[in-house]
Structure 1
Amino acid sequence: MSEELNDVEVRNFEEGDKVTGTVTSVEDKQVYVGIPDSKLDGVVPISELSNVHIEQASDVASVGDTLDLIVLKVEDDVLVLSKRKIDALQSVDDIKAKFESGEVFEAVVNDVVKGGLVVDLGVRAFVPASLVEDHFVEDFASYKDQTLTFKVVEFEPENNRVILSHRAVVEAEKSGKKQERLNEIKEGDVVEGTVQRLTSFGAFVDMNGIDGLVHISQISYQHIAAPSDVLEEGQSVKVKVIGVDPANERISLSIKATQPGPWDDISEKAPVGSVLKGKVARLVTFGAFVEIFPGVEGLVHISQISHQHIGTPQEVLKEGQEIEVKVLDVNEADKRLSLSIKELTEAPAEVTDYELPEENTGFQLGDLIGDKLKNLKTTDDK
């Protein structure tokens, strides 16, 4: 029997040797494996099972699994092995190829840590929070166990540094989609969009993957102080494309161009002879512009302000004053309205008969004049 055992070839392992073992037992913090041609069993501590943190060994290993391992230490009764290091060695070439080619690949998020995500690629890869999405994310908890697309953006094997980016993939997809939409969209198109962002000068609207700007002057026919006065982020709006600049990837949009203009059907809304309420919008040397509908102003010429002569409109009117006006003329084609204030006021009575009042003086005017002439003659005779 002793001679038969001596005839069996038993391999003596050294640190750094690569072996293949079969899992024979799984405990909370370690895994036991059988190594062919070895008089020693192998043990893989939980810290050497994975490049990312795991709570228990059964998370990554089961009885019967075949594992590629590397010998860390040879003890009297056991081989201490590592799966983590052999995974890293086998992954380096693959990660290097992905980094150099810019390949987009899928991987599972193994853990969420402070500052970002952890992905096991055979080596521990890190996704900084700033490279997860192209927008701010407050809580990354829901990303754990998700499968995402990544690109390797930094690779330093000598420092065990692998940085991934999901944001780069998202931005590249959006850029491609944006170019497609730029080629599709045409000036004059009317489309549905969603308000993505509000600024002091306008609103950015997303139109199925491409953003366009609605300048504040194109939001409403009425004057508004800020876009937030009439719009909110997430709101659905209808917009008209009024300009496309493919070279600079800019699209100009208008909301008000999709709405009825304030001058539409003005002849029906303000027929000649009608009396309307309005507000003095501007005073100029030759008259006053009065807003009678939002976006519709008419002119009260200085001659139509008052029955009395005035030097300037400011003598009787002030900006912001609410008044009533009468429509004298409507020119819908040229968007002009002639208005009058004095037509709604009564003209002052005119004095036409200048008679001297009669007084009981005892003499007539002719008598008085005759006496004066008589006296003048007597003086001349002397």
Structure 2
Amino acid sequence: MSEELNQVEVKSFEVGDKVTGQVTKVEEKQVLVDIQGSKLDGIIPISELSSLHIEKASDAVKEGDELELEVMKVEEEALILSKRKVDAGKAWESLEQKFQSGEVIETEVKDVVKGGLVVDLGVRGFVPASLVETYFVEDFSDYKGRTITFKIVELDKEKNRLILSHRAVVEQEKAKQKLSRLDAIQPGDIIEGTVQRLTDFGAFVDIGGIDGLVHISQLSHEHVNKPTDVVHEGQNVNVKVLSVDRDSERISLSIKETLPGPWSNISEKAPKGSVLTGTVKRLVSYGAFVEVFPGVEGLVHISQIAHKHIGTPHEVLKEGQEVSVKVLDANEAEQRLSLSIKELLEKEVEETYDYELPEESKGFQLGEMIGDKLKNLRK
């Protein structure tokens, strides 16, 4: 090309012009392109190939690629071009729309840096460590190269600032699952779940993306002092849905109601005539309630406490006392157990005189004896 033609060619371009070029050679720190409709050479410095730092030009393009470029500088023999600026211009417009709509973006993690992850969306996007997962991650090294979903949480074109969050996507999915799960769950359902955390008042159980509370009173048929006595975090349990409050997103659950009750098979555990050991739990005017199995109390009627007549059970028993009882009757359907203490006690011997009648007086009537005494007194 003559010098005059070259100058005319150069003058036909200005900084900021958009051109199309085809990659003819990829060097380590720059790329050469043929500019469509021009005889001028085009050069793309490595710093203008990508919004991210790259070590060599071949990391961004290859020979034969057709690129949209922007003129950065007009020299005598060539145009200095930028791929990065064109990509960024398109990207900001698209990203602004995605930011406004809350669209989820799927892209590859290009690099792991101090404090988070880096992605390339036409412009450099940064994911702070706190926004990667809903849980703490100590080492992010295996995230590089992984394709992950993100939402844009901050965008400022003027400051070239783009902040993304994978955590927001996870939380959004969990919220959707929670609403769907709430609609599906009905009182009375028996569901398998996992104990997530324990508190003084019960256990929170994950039943498929949503937590429900098993109150301490619903953990077992037996009295529970603290939840850790019967369940632990990570344990798989069956729970029964007691109630669902969709407005407050609260679910009440019960482990107790999925377990055999203490009265199950009571006729086998306490057959009629069997002798059991129990603890006096309550004393009432008409008898004593004795616990013979955890959660199973039977009644010893006042008439079955002692052979002798007593006015109140308090005369011979006290709460907390351990006693032996005999089963008189067991009724599982009505959850009733009739017990007796009396039948295990020897019958008290009836009171007798302190002296014995003379042998010769045996067989005589008491009246005859008294008559004889009176006769002797008259003499």
TM-score, with length taken from structure 2: 0.78
8 A contact 2:10–2:75 mirrored in 1 = no
Give 1:93 shift: 0.9
Distance 1:329 1:40, change over 3 A: same
Distance 2:264 2:20 in 1: 84
Distance 1:41 1:157, change over 3 A: closer
* SS of residue matched to 2:158: helix
Corresponding residue of 1:372? none
Q: Does 1:219 align with 2:223?
A: no
Give 1:318 shift: 6.7
Taking the TM superposition and a 5 Å limit, the aligned residue runs for 1:10-159 are 10-12=9-11, 15-28=15-28, 30-36=29-35, 37=38, 39=40, 41-45=42-46, 47-73=47-73, 80-159=80-159
Give 1:55 shift: 4.0
Give 1:254 shift: 1.4
Distance 2:59 2:315 in 1: 85
Bigger Cα displacement from structure 2, 291-300 vs 69-78: 69-78
Distance 1:342 1:146 in 2: 78
8 A contact 2:25–2:33 mirrored in 1 = no
Distance 1:99 1:314, change over 3 A: farther
Give 1:210 shift: 3.0
Bigger Cα displacement from structure 2, 337-346 vs 122-131: 337-346
Distance 2:33 2:57 in 1: 17
Give 1:121 shift: 1.1
Corresponding residue of 2:183? 183
Matched to 1:42, the amino acid is I
Distance 1:103 1:338 in 2: 69
* SS of residue matched to 2:278: strand
* SS of residue matched to 1:126: strand
Corresponding residue of 1:196? 196
Give 1:257 shift: 1.1
Distance 1:215 1:109 in 2: 44
Give 1:73 shift: 4.9
Instruction: Show CA shifts across 1:39-79 (max 9, x none).
Output: 5551412x433223434433222223233334445667765
Give 1:100 shift: 1.3
Instruction: State, as a whole percentage, how many aligned pairs show the same letter.
Output: 59
* SS of residue matched to 2:117: strand
Distance 1:61 1:306, change over 3 A: farther
Distance 2:327 2:218 in 1: 29
Corresponding residue of 1:255? 255
Corresponding residue of 1:378? none
* SS of residue matched to 2:168: helix
8 A contact 2:288–2:313 mirrored in 1 = no
Give 1:349 shift: 4.6
Corresponding residue of 1:162? 162
Give 1:259 shift: 1.8
Taking the TM superposition and a 5 Å limit, the aligned residue runs for 1:231-310 are 231-279=231-279, 282=281, 284=283, 289-300=289-300
Distance 1:43 1:157, change over 3 A: closer
Taking the TM superposition and a 5 Å limit, the aligned residue runs for 1:329-344 are 329-341=329-341, 343-344=343-344
Distance 2:77 2:225 in 1: 82
Matched to 2:253, the amino acid is L
Distance 1:126 1:302 in 2: 80
Distance 2:90 2:106 in 1: 18
Give 1:337 shift: 3.0
* SS of residue matched to 1:11: helix
Distance 1:141 1:288 in 2: 69
8 A contact 1:11–1:38 mirrored in 2 = no
TM-score, with length taken from structure 1: 0.78
Matched to 2:45, the amino acid is V
Matched to 1:44, the amino acid is P
Distance 1:146 1:331, change over 3 A: same
Distance 1:338 1:35, change over 3 A: same
Distance 1:299 1:38, change over 3 A: farther
8 A contact 2:192–2:237 mirrored in 1 = yes
Distance 2:164 2:356 in 1: 108
- Segments of structure 2 that go 5 or more residues without pairing to the other structure are 359-379
* SS of residue matched to 2:87: helix
Give 1:107 shift: 1.7
* SS of residue matched to 1:237: strand
Distance 1:56 1:298 in 2: 86
Corresponding residue of 2:377? none
Distance 1:53 1:229 in 2: 56
Distance 2:306 2:14 in 1: 112
- RMSD in angstroms over aligned alpha carbons? 3.8
* SS of residue matched to 1:248: coil
Instruction: Show CA shifts across 1:210-243 (max 9, x none).
Output: 3322222212212233333332333332221111
Distance 2:138 2:276 in 1: 54
Distance 1:73 1:202 in 2: 70
How many residue pairs match? The answer is: 361
Distance 1:335 1:31, change over 3 A: same
* SS of residue matched to 1:220: coil
Matched to 2:22, the amino acid is T
8 A contact 1:302–1:312 mirrored in 2 = yes
